[in-house]
Amino acid sequence: MINNPLNPLREQIDLVDQQLIQLLAKRLSLVAEVGQVKHQHGLPIYAPEREALMIQARRQEAESQGVPADLIEDVLRRVMRESYTSENRHGFKATNPEIQKIVVVGGRGKLGGLFAGYFRQSGYGVVSLDQDDWENADTILAGADAVIVCVPIDKTLKIIDRLQPFLTEKMVLADLTSVKAEPLAKMLEVHSGAVVGLHPMFGPDISTMAKQVVACCHGRFAERYEWLLAQIKIWGAKVEQIDAKEHDHAMTYIQALRHFSTFAYGLHLSQQPVKLSQLLALSSPIYRLELAMIGRLFAQDAALYADIIADKPENLAVIKSLKQSFAESLAFFEQGDREGFISAFEKVHHWFGDYSEQFLKESRNLLQQAHDLRV
């Protein structure tokens, strides 16, 4: 509209936005220089203290200028995520330049491919041993310094067995399987050299390894695989040491129970007389987020989830007890026991303790972001 009275203000806003773009370009180019320095000196791309101090300082400065502190924190966190991704472009310093050859078994798969890429970006020679390569296994594994197993869970133990004739004492044998006790025991059985079990607590679609967690279960000769953990830290991830059985116990809840209930919810919804498009059109931000979390499971690998859920009897026992909790919860309503529901609700509230408030705050941010994406 030619005579729109908002035009002059809009023009100024456009101008400010353009300046913001120029400032962001400048910031990204400074970050690129930081990336280069970190690469030269082998510094981790994620520096938690620097990040916390910087956010705190900018919040104070923003407030003193009448800009909401949460706004600047949101903007900066998004900008920093971009920065971590672009810091990768320079590659990473190798923590052990003596390592000549890393073999990733399953290196053409999703997670194996991701790790093979990170190793290459760190200057290591990487070779993949995938399912059609076994006739050349001799050549592929000859002289390897580290062998990293990253194959479907149901094949992992057999493949570790199959590796045995090719392993030599100096090799580090590691795996990236989502379950840890059995693969670790199998690696220790077939190999007399260094062994370590790793579980990246993320999928292959991450944009950066900064702030991600890798669970680490010690096997044998930690001093020989120290460089591998140091390398993962340089990529920005946090290495969390844990006993393999404890890890698997935690995964009953973090993975098996969660994947199962998400699957059951999706299955149930798909059998209901509802249209997804209509639910989405009417959804609140939290429902949209919930649907997104459920829907994303079904965009992934069914076999991986089947194996994670079926990993051990404990998983099924806990899942069965979920059925029990479901029946108990339903009974409050079937029996019109409003008071019973409220009292159970209070107990759970108490169990969550301070986390309840913290989660309310954290989820508010997520919901706001989900809402921002709405068109």
Told to check if 152 binds ligand NAD by CB under 6 A, we report: yes
Question: Distances from the Cα of 287 to the Cαs of 291, 295, 297, 367, in angstroms?
Answer: 6, 12, 16, 9
Closest to ligand NAD by CB, 145 vs 311, is 311
Among 35, 109, 193, 219, binds ligand NAD (CB under 6 A): 109
Q: CA 226, CA 133: separation in Å to the nearest integer?
A: 29
Among 45, 94, 116, 151, binds ligand NAD (CB under 6 A): 151
Closest to ligand NAD by CB, 94 vs 116, is 116
Closest to ligand NAD by CB, 150 vs 173, is 150
Contact status, residue 195 vs residue 146, Cβ threshold 8 Å:
no
Told to check if 200 binds ligand NAD by CB under 6 A, we report: yes
Q: For residue 227, what are its two tokens?
A: 């460089």
Closest to ligand NAD by CB, 83 vs 156, is 156
Q: Which residues of 194-226 are buried (b: 16+ CB within 10 A; e: fewer)?
A: bbbbbbbeeeeeeebbbbbebbbbebbeeebbe
Closest to ligand NAD by CB, 73 vs 130, is 130
Among 76, 159, 216, 244, binds ligand NAD (CB under 6 A): 159
The secondary element (H helix, E strand) that includes residue 128 is strand 125-129
Q: Apex CA 269: angle with CA 265 and CA 272, to 5°?
A: 145
Told to check if 131 binds ligand NAD by CB under 6 A, we report: yes
Binding region for ligand NAD (CB under 6 A) out of 46-54, 123-131, 323-331, 340-348: 123-131
Quick one: CA dihedral 144, 148, 152, 155, positive or negative? positive
Told to check if 111 binds ligand NAD by CB under 6 A, we report: yes
Please, what is the minimum distance in Å from the beta carbon of residue 158 to ligand NAD?
8
Q: Which residue has the tokens 């759970």?
A: 348
Quick one: which of 298, 314, 309 has its CA closest to 178?
309
Told to check if 110 binds ligand NAD by CB under 6 A, we report: yes
Among 291, 301, 312, 341, binds ligand NAD (CB under 6 A): 301
- Annotate 81-117 with DSSP letters as a single string: HHHHHHHGGG----S-TT--EEEEETTTSHHHHHHHH
Told to check if 44 binds ligand NAD by CB under 6 A, we report: no
Binding-site size, ligand NAD (CB under 6 A): 25
| Residue ranges that bind ligand NAD, judged by CB under 6 A | 105-106, 108-112, 129-131, 150-153, 155-156, 159, 176-178, 200, 203-204, 301, 304
